Amino acid sequence: MKVGEILRRFKAKDGREVVLRAPKWGDLDGLMQLINSLVEEGAEIEYDAKKTRDEEVDWLSRSIAQLEKGNALYLVAEVDGRVVASSGVTRRSAPCESHVGDLGIVVKAGYRDVGIGTEVIRTLIEEARAMGLKILVLTVFATNERAIHVYEKAGFRQTGRIPNGIFRNGKYVDRVIMVKEMF
């Protein structure tokens, strides 16, 4: 996959046109705005502090390098020229785990429950298969029932739980481990 390459276009359930593509350098501000909007919202993600421009530059440069080497797949969903979702699958680096990919996705408020996340996950699964991956792994806050439902619809199953594996906002929450086998 090439930087900025469009994989597909589709209409969300609310009629908005969505473009799924690989990220590009021009997405830097949109990606930073996306992650920081999720932090402001208090979304159930691993970050609880806003990202600086330097941190986002570092992340995007690493992501593009991995994408170009074929070790990872990253997608953004764009609506009306704005980044509204970011996602990726990263191949594990240990030789005995090179068939396993770690999946992550975030979707901006106002763009959830219209099929964007489902379509992104479906596309990630197809592309992960094309990369030769056999297993996808993700983790999710146990309290994020919406996300768990979407992952289960996509064929992921809960395989474990790390009790109190997440500490945010003064509270412990279980981390649920979900897996999709693609043999």
pLDDT of amino acid 100: 98
The parent domain of residue 78 ranges over: 6-134
Q: Average pLDDT per run of 10 along the chain, which is 183 residues long?
A: 94 97 96 97 92 96 92 96 97 96 97 95 96 97 95 97 94 97 95
Q: In this structure, is residue 80 part of a structural domain? A: yes
How far apart, in Å, are the Cα atoms of 115 and each of 27, 70, 107? Answer: 22, 27, 11
Q: In this structure, is residue 105 part of a structural domain? A: yes
CB count in 10 Å sphere of residue 150: 21
Residue 131's Cβ-count burial label (10 Å; 0-12, 13-18, 19+) is: middle
If one counts the domains in the chain, the total is 1
Instruction: Please tell me the pTM assigned to this model.
Output: 0.93
Element (DSSP H or E) covering residue 84: strand 82-91
Q: In this structure, is residue 121 part of a structural domain? A: yes
Q: In this structure, is residue 110 part of a structural domain? A: yes
Please give, one letter per residue, the 3-state secondary structure of 33-75.
HHHHHHHHHCCCCCCCCCCCHHHHHHHHHHHHHHHHHCCEEEE
56-75 as b/e, with b when 16 or more CB fall inside 10 Å?
Answer: beebbeebbebbeeebbbbb
Side-chain half-sphere of 71: how many Cα atoms within 13 Å?
12
pLDDT of amino acid 17: 98
pLDDT of amino acid 169: 83
pLDDT of amino acid 182: 97
Which residues does residue 76 pair with via DSSP β-bridges, in sequence order?
21, 86
Phi/psi of residue 37, each to 5°? Answer: -65, -35
Which CATH number characterizes residue 99's domain?
A: 3.40.630.30
